[in-house]
């Protein structure tokens, strides 16, 4: 089954401690997104399958949030993931506002998977 992959580039504001930001992401935002957007549910347009936070190779101040979805690209677009479900959740909005206090997010980039090849390990 093909997936939709979303990239959100994140640049920390001046003076923000990257360790505090990473703690927020791994302890609050990412667990919330994983719980909120797992599926399928009656309100699903897209269901979250995986999340990954990547740190830029040149600096600890740039990150990439990669999310993998089962659903159409249009359902994954939107700054607050608002198209992935038919109903909104105030907690998601509150956590994304808290994220905005740490960093600036670039507009999301959404990609439709064309093909995936699973590569086995050598035994």
Q: Which tens digit of pLDDT belongs to each residue from 50-95? A: 999 999 987 779 999 999 999 999 999 988 998 999 888 889 999 9
Please state, for a pLDDT cut of 70, what percent of the chain lies above it: 99
The domain limits of the chain are 4-112
Structure-token match 């740190």, residue found: 55
Going by pLDDT thresholds of 50, 70 and 90, the confidence category of residue 27 is very high
Residue 108 has pLDDT above 70, yes or no: yes
Supply the pLDDT for residue 6.
97
- CATH class of the domain defined by 4-112: alpha beta
Structure tokens at 49: 């399958």
Supply the pLDDT for residue 1.
61
Whole-number Å distance between alpha carbons of 73 and 93: 21
Mean pLDDT of 28-43: 94
Supply the pLDDT for residue 87.
86
What does the H/E/C string look like for the chain? CCCEEEEEEEEECCCCCHHHHHHHHHHHHHHHHHHHCCCCCCCECEEEEEEEEEECCCCCCEEEEEEEEEECHHHHCCCCCCCCECCCCHHHHHHHHHHHHHEEECCCEEEECCCCCCCCCCC
Q: Which tens digit of pLDDT belongs to each residue from 7-23? A: 999 999 999 999 999 99
């Amino acid at each position: 089954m093909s997936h939709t992959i979303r990239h959100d580039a994140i640049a920390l504001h001046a003076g923000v401690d990257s360790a505090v930001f990473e703690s927020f992401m791994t302890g609050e935002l990412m667990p919330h997104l994983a719980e909120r957007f797992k599926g399928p549910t009656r309100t699903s347009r897209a269901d979250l399958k995986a999340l990954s936070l990547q740190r830029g190779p040149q600096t600890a101040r740039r990150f990439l949030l990669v999310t993998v979805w089962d659903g159409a690209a249009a359902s994954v677009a939107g700054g607050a993931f608002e198209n992935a479900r038919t109903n909104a959740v105030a907690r998601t909005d509150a956590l994304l506002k808290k994220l905005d206090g740490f960093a600036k997010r670039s507009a999301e980039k959404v990609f439709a998977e064309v093909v995936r090849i699973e590569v086995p390990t050598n035994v």
